[in-house]
């Protein structure tokens, strides 16, 4: 029996590794797969923001403060306007994916609702085709239909927590940046 590269790398049969994911996709339908795709995109953007804040933001903030401190004119109207433009540009880079994150968070419950509606249509369609009211079949169908709603709400809640935290960090860093720029101006003028 020949092993695939995935089976070799993971050290287990690829089918047994992917089996829970395929069962989940079968039980939730194509909408659950769409929610999984949105969740992957959402968490990829969240991870990118964490990476940016952790490794790039601090370096950019430090270089901006140094560039401001190196200026000779820091008190004129044009210098203060330039400082404001520079800080807004830097904060805008930190804020850049925030609208996309909010869109994806709002999309998750809607996809969950779509999965529930399509699942319930399938349940009622199956019941009308069998011409019998089987309580067990209906209960299984309703359970299957509500799985996308659960998944959509869970992804949305986690995404909402991250988005709220990111907005807090942006407000805090905006204030810190303004404070550091003002402190750099005071140190040069003193």
Q: Nearest CA to 39 among 95, 99, 112?
A: 112
Per-residue buried b or exposed e for 38-52, using 16+ beta carbons within 10 Å of the residue's own CB: bbeebeebbeebeee
Q: Nearest CA to 33 among 118, 100, 96?
A: 118
pTM of the full structure: 0.77
Indicate if the pLDDT at residue 132 is higher than 80: no
Q: Which tens digit of pLDDT belongs to each residue from 47-61?
A: 999 999 999 999 999
CA 111 to chain CA centroid, Å, is: 15
Give the residue-averaged pLDDT of 85-112. Answer: 94
Q: Which tens digit of pLDDT belongs to each residue from 61-70?
A: 999 999 988 8
Give the residue-averaged pLDDT of 170-189. Answer: 84
Give the residue-averaged pLDDT of 36-44. Answer: 94
DSSP string, 158-189: HHHHHHHHHHHHHHHHHHHHHHHHHHHHHHHH
* pLDDT at residue 1, rounded to an integer: 43
**What's 3's DSSP letter?**
P
Residues 6+ apart with CB under 8 A from 60: 90, 93
Give the residue-averaged pLDDT of 3-28. Answer: 65
Indicate if the pLDDT at residue 8 is higher than 50: yes
């Amino acid at each position: 029996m020949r092993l695939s590269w995935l089976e070799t790398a993971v050290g287990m049969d690829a089918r047994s590794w992917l089996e829970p994911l395929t069962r989940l996709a079968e039980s939730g339908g194509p909408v659950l797969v769409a929610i999984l795709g949105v969740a992957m995109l959402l968490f990829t953007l969240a991870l990118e923001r964490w990476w940016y804040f952790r490794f790039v933001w601090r370096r950019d903030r430090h270089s901006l403060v140094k560039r401001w401190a190196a200026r000779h004119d820091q008190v004129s109207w044009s210098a203060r306007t330039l400082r404001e433009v520079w800080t807004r540009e830097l904060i805008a880079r930190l804020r850049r994916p925030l609208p996309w994150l909010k869109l994806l968070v709002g999309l998750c419950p809607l996809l969950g609702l779509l999965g529930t509606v399509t699942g319930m249509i399938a349940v009622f369609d199956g019941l009308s085709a069998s011409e019998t009211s089987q309580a067990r079949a209906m209960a299984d169908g309703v359970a299957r239909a509500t799985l996308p709603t659960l998944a959509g709400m869970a992804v949305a809640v986690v995404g909402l927590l991250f988005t709220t935290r990111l907005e807090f960090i942006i407000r805090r860093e905006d204030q810190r940046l303004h404070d550091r720029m003002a402190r750099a101006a005071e140190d040069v003028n003193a």
